[in-house]
Amino acid sequence: MQLDTKSSILEKTLQARLPGLTVTVFGRFRDFQDAFASKPPAAVLAVSPLLEQEHQRVTIQGTRGGKDWEPYVLVSVGPMKSVDGKTVGIVDLFGHDGTQAFAASLLKTNDVKIKRVAKIEDLLPLIEFSAADAILIPQAGVKRLTERTRLPLTVRELPNGRFGLPAVGVVDPAARDAVVRLIEGLDAQTRGLIGVEGWELK
Amino acid sequence: MKRRLTPLAARALFSLALAGCATTGGGGNVPVAAPQQIVDPAPRPGAPLVLIAMPDSSEFLDVRRTLVAEIRKNFNVSTYVVGPSTTAKDFGQELAKVAPTCVVVMNNATVNLLREVQHARAGAGPFPPTVVVMSSFLEELRPTLTNATGIAYEVPGVTAFINLRSISRAPLKRVGVVYRPPFRGFIERQERLAAREQIELVKTELPKDFGAGELRAALQSLLVDKHVDALWMLNDNGLIRSREFLDQTWRAALRDTRVPLIVGVPNLIDAQSPLGSIAVVPDHEALGLQAANLIFDLSSEGWDAQAHDVELPLSVKTVVDVKQLSATVGLKDDALRHIDKAVE
């Protein structure tokens, strides 16, 4: 997920709001992938495309504004006519190959060099240092970005740049009821921290 | 029975403090570095080899861990631990033995060994491309190396300034800095970067040799005459020297002011003995990801490291003296959500 909160704060908050569950927040895709492979958890909370990549069915889908997806946007310093041949930064959501493919599908071109970063706030330095020509972020991240920087940003919506919101996939069927009950019981503030307004049971 | 719910969150790695991160978010817990063993992934036939030459202390292991996790599917990895007794001859023999496609070198001592090896082998054919990380002033070191690039270790001032500005209620438009002559080029680069964020670096160059009185006067001039909104302390031993020197200079100048001090090492953030207001330090695990990306880039660009500019570090962690910053510039309501470690 690409949230406007440090992962340790998120872990602490979720742990307090989800009694009976042990919550582990992974800050990097590889750590999540390794832990998932070696010791599968009872459930996973992640953006739904990641669940799909890990072959996990969505049990509860997060929603915001009545939608289960959010648009992705391309942000550059000043206007940019074309991304062809350019360098574009993105948070590493799916590992090297997966993130490259994801970015290419959003931009509808393979003629682009992708730079992956670990955290959403690391995208700003990319354009600040001119290490990338543009960055890809969820539209919800634009507000925080413009609060942080004085760079003259140009935000361009990407046609069909739809990206699934956070969702929960239950890995251990025996934990399903407990997980669903606890997730559905999260208060509005905690849901806001995760980036959703409500849940939809699948 | 407790179940584990595993969220993938925030694209931040601060919860990975169990693996030895320097900071954790907001909770104030001091992470304990777990001992890490160096085990290279099982080799894949035909995959190019990356040799990682590094000391084995925790921060280097943090970088290596992420780096290896990222590249292990595409490259074989061999780790060579460099200690105080390692000689250039030892390192040269290791390089000859494993014949890497790419070398990753961590810290200045290892860079020095590499330079010796390169000089000893000058004219004996091309040297594998080298990625240097966690070495001070790489821009200045690079011309002394062959086919090398890397990631600068110093956190750019603008990164630190933005982190302060994003949590502070007070405006941040002018940041004062004092520096010694060897840092002039570095400061000029920082000035240009800060200007992009509409922050003016108000700079004072110190003489080559100076004492506590001259440093204190330079700081006081920035605070009183030039009305800076914050001071930035460079990671330069010449400006820090000792506790007594800090008392006579930085603490003396900052006493009775409401100007925050930005520092580059977390141990200068101490609520019991306040000095630094915010420390902005490299995020070592994210640095491993950046190094991995650099290796992928070099691989796709024909391993011409010399053609690849030194990169600036992208990822940092913040340690904040919450009480001090609240009392001086004030903290925004959501500030704690954006701080990795709050010292209170």
Residues A70-163, CATH architecture: 3-Layer(aba) Sandwich (3.40)
Chain B residues near residue A42 by CB distance under 8 angstroms: 3-5
pLDDT band for position B29 (cuts 50, 70, 90): very low
What would the pLDDT profile of B130-187 be if each residue is shown by its tens digit? Answer: 999 999 999 999 999 999 999 999 999 999 999 999 999 999 999 999 999 999 999 9
With an 8 Å Cβ cutoff, are A179 and B74 in contact? no
Radius of gyration of chain A (CA): 17
With an 8 Å Cβ cutoff, are A8 and B13 in contact? no
Question: Around Cβ A152, how many Cβ atoms within 10 Å?
Answer: 10
Percent of chain A with pLDDT over 70: 100
What would the pLDDT profile of A94-111 be if each residue is shown by its tens digit? Answer: 888 999 999 999 999 999
Of A3, A129, A147, the CB nearest to B10: A3
pTM over 0.95: no
Q: With 80 as the cut, is the pLDDT of residue B31 above it? A: no
Start-to-end Cα distance in chain A: 20
d(CA B159, CA B211): 30
- Pick the residue of B1, B2, B11, B320 with the most A CBs within 10 A to test the interface with A by mutation: B11
d(CA A188, CA A193): 9
User: Shortest Cα distance from B194 to chain A (angstroms)?
Assistant: 9
Percent of chain B with pLDDT over 70: 90
Element containing residue A179 per DSSP (H, E): helix A176-184
With an 8 Å Cβ cutoff, are B11 and A28 in contact? yes
Q: With 60 as the cut, is the pLDDT of residue B210 above it? A: yes
Domain B14-154+283-316 carries which CATH code?
A: 3.40.50.2300
Q: What is the DSSP letter of A112?
A: E
Taking one residue from A and the other from B, the number of pairs with CB-CB distance under 8 angstroms is 218
Q: With 60 as the cut, is the pLDDT of residue B88 above it? A: yes
Start-to-end Cα distance in chain B: 35
User: B157-281+318-343: which CATH topology?
Assistant: Rossmann fold (3.40.50)
Domain ranges of chain A: 7-29+40-67+165-201, 70-163
The beta strands (E) that lie in B42-124 are given as 49-54, 76-81, 102-106
Q: Residue B81: name the closest of B101, B106, B62 by CA.
A: B106
Q: With 90 as the cut, is the pLDDT of residue B211 above it? A: yes
Name the closest residue on chain A to residue B337, using Cα atoms: A5
What would the pLDDT profile of B94-145 be if each residue is shown by its tens digit? Answer: 999 999 999 999 999 999 999 999 999 888 888 999 999 999 999 999 999 9
Tokens linked to A99: 């993130």
Q: What is the mean pLDDT of chain B?
A: 89
Do B66 and B39 meet the contact criterion of CB atoms below 8 Å apart? no
With an 8 Å Cβ cutoff, are B162 and A148 in contact? yes
**Residue B144: CA count within 13 A, CB half-sphere:** 14
Of A4, A7, A41, the CB nearest to B14: A7
With an 8 Å Cβ cutoff, are A34 and B7 in contact? no
Domain ranges of chain B: 14-154+283-316, 157-281+318-343
Mean pLDDT by 10 residues, chain A (202 residues): 82 91 87 87 93 92 96 95 94 90 93 93 96 95 95 93 93 93 95 94 92
pLDDT for residue B35: 52
Domains B14-154+283-316 and B157-281+318-343 in one fold: yes
